[in-house]
Structure formats: structure tokens, C-alpha cells
Amino acid sequence: MNYRKIAYVPILAAGLMFALPASAAPCGNTGAGFNNFLKIYRSEAAAQGINKRTLNAALKGVTYDKRIIRIDRSHKSFKKTFDQFYQLRAAGIIGRAKSRLKSNRRLLARIEKKYGVAKEVIVAIWGLETGFGGFLGKSSIVRSLATLAYDCRRGPFFTNELTAALTIIQRGDIPASKMIGGPFGEIGQTQFLASSYIKYAVDGDGDGRRDLIRSKADVLASTANYLRAFGWKRGASWDPGTANFNVIKQWNKAGVYQKTIAKMANAIK
């Protein structure tokens, strides 16, 4: 799961789809006012176009999650050196990455042709984020986002993410019951936030939905689309100091993570 996208909020600003007015719902640092917050938020979300059916499906029975607040308060930026981080996160999955590159060569070739993004970089991100879809997180995305939207620390930011998550449900991409992911609302096999999902997710398998949890084609094509949107240069290097490395920086603001994506992509090339 990708906490770095949350720890460094500016990366997410580029993915925001909604321009919400200031919320009238009061924030709180305990769960005491959570139900009142949800009542007011439902009215605000309805005014933004979220229908009653979606609101009921997504928010019925949602409760304040103290565990998410503990995770939020205890999170710290990376302390490891690049070499330490690479050994911990990437070195052990290079063989699996090469295998995924080979077994998905036709799909990846099609995506690279369409979006211009190197297949090795896409596979590196896929592996680093969730172990190629092996662990997507175990938190209720709506419950997590509702808790963080109510919390006074970054309420407006996560209110926006909550409305984006409800939009994903409403348009039929993922049902509310399947919205399970990271503790900060990260969705799917490459851990998109909901606002970036709205803006960059694409239908890679042609089934009419953009499902970044269950559809591998959607996942990989959407990841490529995200990188292309930030200026990826077809056929160019992604090593540090290049234009494409600057695009990798838009994926994640942690320097050790950026360098790990680049090195791992070179290792499986």
C-alpha cells in the first residue's frame, strides 16, 4: 500500500476532479460528532450529484474508525537509505517481475504502443505497490475516507476523496461492497486515490467499466495513462535526471521510491 502519496499531499492535487465548496459539516478529533458529520455530508454529496441509491449503498452503517486515525497519526516519512529501501522492497521481487513481464507481454505491448509508457516501468510500479495485485489492502475505502473527511487534520482533502469514491461506485466501476483497499483510500493493484481514479482510470479490457481492483488490463492501462498525462516521453530513458524520471516523481514524492521504480525497471528490462 502506498502511504507516500498521502504523506506528500501535493502529488494528489494534480488528480483532483472536484472543486467542492467549503463543507458545512463540522470536523472532530473523536468519534462523538461523526454521525452528525455524515448527515450533513450526505446533503452536500447529493448536491454534488451523488444519488440516494449510491449514498445508501455506500454510507449505510458506516462508523468512525479509530484504527485509521492511529495509522494517520503514527505515519512517518521514509528514514531508510535508497540502498536499504531497494533491498527491502524491490530486490526480492525482480524474478517475479520478469515473469509478469513475460506472461503479460501481449497486453503490455498493446498498452505501450497506445500510451508510449515503457512496460518495464508499469510492471515495476505494479510490483512495488501491491506485489502484482497480491495485497490490495483490507480497509473499507468508504469508511476510511469518511473517517478522515470528518477528522480535523485534512478534512477538506479527504472529503473530496470520499465524493470521488462515491462517484466511482455510482458510475458502476466498482460496487460499494468491493471497495476494499488501503487505509487512506488507495484503490486497486497500483493504489490509485479516488480522485486520480476518476481522472486517469481507463477501460483496458473493453467491458465498459474501469475496474482497478479486478481487471489487470484496466490496472496496467490506467497506470500508463496516468504517467502519459504527466508527460512521459515514448522510447526515452527513465534514469534519474531525465524528463521521464520527473514523470516518475509525479507518481510518488518519496525520493527512495522514485529511484527504486527506475532501478527496478532497468533490472527487469
DSSP, res 104: T
CA distance 91 to 86: 6
Architecture of domain 4-74+141-193: Orthogonal Bundle (1.10)
- Residue 269: what residue type? K
The mean pLDDT of the chain is 91
- The amino acid present at 102, given as its one-letter code, is K
Start-to-end CA span in the chain (Å): 24
pLDDT at 156: 95
**pLDDT for the residue 16:** 40
Instruction: Decide: pTM greater than 0.85.
Output: yes
C-alpha cell at 14: 494534480
Q: Which one of 3.40.47.10, 1.10.530.10, 3.60.20.30, 3.20.20.70 gives the CATH number of domain 82-136+199-268?
A: 1.10.530.10
Strand partners, 192: 187
* Distance of alpha carbon 8 from alpha carbon 21, whole angstroms: 23
pLDDT in tens, 115-124: 999 999 999 9
Separation between Cα atoms, residue 138 and residue 181, nearest integer Å:
5
Region 191-208 average pLDDT? 97
Give the residue extent of every domain in the chain: 4-74+141-193, 82-136+199-268
Residue 12 has pLDDT above 50, yes or no: no
Residue type, 130: T
Q: Is the pLDDT of residue 177 over 80?
A: yes
Q: Which of these, 254, 268, 34, 262, lies nearest to 162 by C-alpha position?
A: 34
Q: What's the rounded mean pLDDT across residues 206-220?
A: 96
**β strands within 91-185, DSSP E:** 139-140, 180-181
| pLDDT of residue 11 exceeding 60 | no
What is the three-class DSSP state of 235? coil
pLDDT the model gives residue 22: 54
